[in-house]
Structure 1
Amino acid sequence: MITAIISDWYKSSNKMERIWLLAKIEFKLRYYENKLGLFWALLKPVMDIGIYYVVFQIIMKQDVPAFASYLFIGLILFNFFIESTSGTIQLLNTKKYLYEYSNMNKIEIYISTILSSVIGFSFNFIMFLIFYFFLEPTSLGPSIFNLWMPVIFVNLFILSLAASLILSNIYVIAKDINQVWQVVSTFLFFLSPIFYKLVSFREALPNFDYANPLAGIIINARNVMMYNSQPDMELLLFDFMYAIFLLFIGLILLNKLGSKAAEKL
């Protein structure tokens, strides 16, 4: 039962300490063998911004105000989602020792793994704040509406956790979900308003920001961080409902397939 999974996690002792400790270990291991280390996590979005800026602003002339910042926040949000989900597809296999030989609940393992991506995202988001507020010539500056950003990020975290649960549990019975998700990720990338002008995006794909929850999250993040306006409440509510629904599906799969992961993987 789903309630049993949640109840088991809730009753376990020292859960927050374990989650945070595992997240820090996961984050350090991710960059331990890289010579550039954490610097690469900061450098990659900057390099991506440079490439897409040349292609979409200079060559294709999207004519989006503050386009570098526009790209920056869209990319770090999207990259967080892809990193969180792609990095957890094989979680029930790679972290089998944690749930088999320790008292860690599977939910804790998922949360701590995604939380390690939150650490990387935090560095990138700080870079965005510095760039937009101090280097962007057309910046509107800080605003009270910026306080909506944690709410939007919680939405993204729930969506990432839900997708992680779904993908990793499907992996138990279908290993090729990894390749399928790579294709889906590319689809989501090009059908999200990361580098497109929002008006053009909505004209070409009417109401698609409701079909793709990442699109709504990116749109609302720009509203509160760059345009000094409140989020689109209808879109925000829809995205939360979407994420919670997918989380419910993920918990069902964890109950049905995750319990057999140790013997099948």
Structure 2
Amino acid sequence: MIASIVKDWINRSNKLERLWLLAKIEFKLRYYENKLGLLWALIKPLMDIAIYYTVFQVILKQGVPAFASYLFIGLILWNFFVESTTGTVQILHVKKYLYEYSNMNKLEIYLSTIVSNSIGFFFNFLMFLLFYSLIEKQSTGLSFQNFWIIPLFVNLFLLALGMSLILSNIYIVAKDIHQIWTVFVSMLFFLSPIFYKLNTFKEALPSFEYANPIAGIIINARKVMMEHTRPGFKLMAFDFIYALILLLIGLMLLNRLGSKAAEKL
């Protein structure tokens, strides 16, 4: 059943071209309709950094080295996850016309949306590299260990895709999931080491980084980007397992509930 969804998409012709075209359209609709355009995708994380830097470094004096960069990498990973999940809860309703009238594979709709978010993430990550390399006074520069960010982002992509599938398919039968997820995301934000010292986070919530895959990805991203060390492979394995389990559950729900989306929505 699940394999048939994936196989159907794989067997379709011009799937990569169509996926890229949909992603570009989604990206342009999101940013180019606003007056600030793409600039907003770059300004938002910088505004967030300014706020949290003032609160946690200036007022509360966290004492984290290179705190602006520490915040920067954590926030762009977090924002990608939130935009890719919260923004797709109603995707089967909002983009009903795509799969109902064009016979498009539903999985393609999810992938194109998250690929669109990935384009925004790429620009933000480029900004982080420039900031950390050229502006951050406590920067240790770049190294080959930085390439570990690629599998970490793949992990984040799969995690976001899995949660998107789960949330949007639950929305078909329980529309309250949108409000519930919004509250849960707010709670998860404060239970992730985005602006806390890592030692403080681990002391307050021992081993919680293994229960919270977002926390694990952020911790490992800082290791490879700022500490020039390899990621914690045990933590990375846990995060990939979480992502694959959630993706499997999401595909099961897409097969069971998604097939009835057109009539129920």
TM-score (norm 1): 0.99
Counterpart position of 2:193 = 193
Counterpart position of 1:221 = 221
Q: Distance in 1 between matches of 2:119 and 2:33?
A: 18
**By how many angstroms is 1:240 displaced?**
0.3
Counterpart position of 1:115 = 115
Find out whether 1:208 has 2:200 as its counterpart.
no
**By how many angstroms is 1:37 displaced?**
1.0
Report the number of matched residues.
265
Counterpart position of 2:50 = 50
* Aligned residues: CA RMSD: 0.6
Structure 1 gaps, min length 5: none
Counterpart position of 2:28 = 28
- One-letter amino acid matched to 2:29: L
SS at match of 1:65: coil
CA displacement 1:166-199 (0-9 Å, x = unmatched): 0000000011111001101101110000000000
Q: Distance in 2 between matches of 1:146 and 1:41?
A: 23
Find out whether 1:102 has 2:102 as its counterpart.
yes
Q: Distance in 1 between matches of 2:186 and 2:194?
A: 12
**By how many angstroms is 1:25 displaced?**
0.2
Which of structure 1's runs of 4+ aligned residues deviate more than 6 A?
Answer: none
Counterpart position of 2:2 = 2
- One-letter amino acid matched to 1:126: L
- One-letter amino acid matched to 1:197: K
SS at match of 2:159: helix
Q: Distance in 1 between matches of 2:225 and 2:37?
A: 29
- One-letter amino acid matched to 2:47: M
CA displacement 1:205-228 (0-9 Å, x = unmatched): 001001110000000000000000
**By how many angstroms is 1:133 displaced?**
1.0
Q: Distance in 1 between matches of 2:254 and 2:244?
A: 15
Find out whether 1:76 has 2:82 as its counterpart.
no
SS at match of 1:194: coil
SS at match of 1:175: coil
TM-score (norm 2): 0.99
Counterpart position of 1:154 = 154
